[in-house]
């Protein structure tokens, strides 16, 4: 069994959002996203994978398809396959987000 401390993956950059893969397995893929200032990520779409987004720290504005929500620490949202996801930091404090997809996304072409 392997374990990881998520804090080891938390890194911020003035150049834009940072992403670090947390786990990769045949049925699941996950990453940590770090946003600060007015940084955003997306839109991201995977046609075959359902996604789960969990706010680990901070506050973000999230759009899934045409629906929007403001989410604080410990909030989560399901992202159905085929729906676009956009995330924007929504406070002066940095934000840390966990994104998981099952099955893992298709390799980039």
Instruction: Evaluate if residue 50 carries a pLDDT over 80.
Output: yes
Q: Distance between CA atoms of 32 and 27, rounded to whole angstroms? A: 18
Around 107, how many Cα atoms within 13 Å sit in the side-chain half-sphere? 2
21 three-state secondary structure: strand
Domain 18-98, CATH number (from 2.60.120.10, 3.30.479.10, 3.90.1150.10, 2.30.33.40): 2.60.120.10
pTM comes to 0.92
Helices (H), 1-109: none
Indicate the average pLDDT of the chain: 95
Instruction: Evaluate if residue 95 carries a pLDDT over 60.
Output: yes
**Which is nearest to 51 in space by CA: 20, 15, 89, 87?**
87
């Amino acid at each position: 069994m392997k374990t990881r401390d998520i804090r080891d993956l938390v890194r911020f950059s003035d150049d834009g959002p940072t992403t670090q893969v947390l786990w990769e397995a045949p049925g699941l893929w996950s990453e940590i996203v770090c946003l600060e200032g007015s940084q955003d990520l997306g839109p991201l779409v995977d046609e075959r994978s359902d996604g789960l987004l969990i706010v680990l720290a901070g506050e973000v504005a999230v759009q899934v398809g045409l629906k929007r929500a403001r989410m604080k620490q410990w909030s989560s949202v399901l992202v159905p396959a085929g729906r676009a996801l956009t995330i924007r930091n929504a406070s002066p404090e940095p934000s840390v987000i966990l994104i998981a997809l099952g099955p893992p996304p298709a390799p980039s072409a």
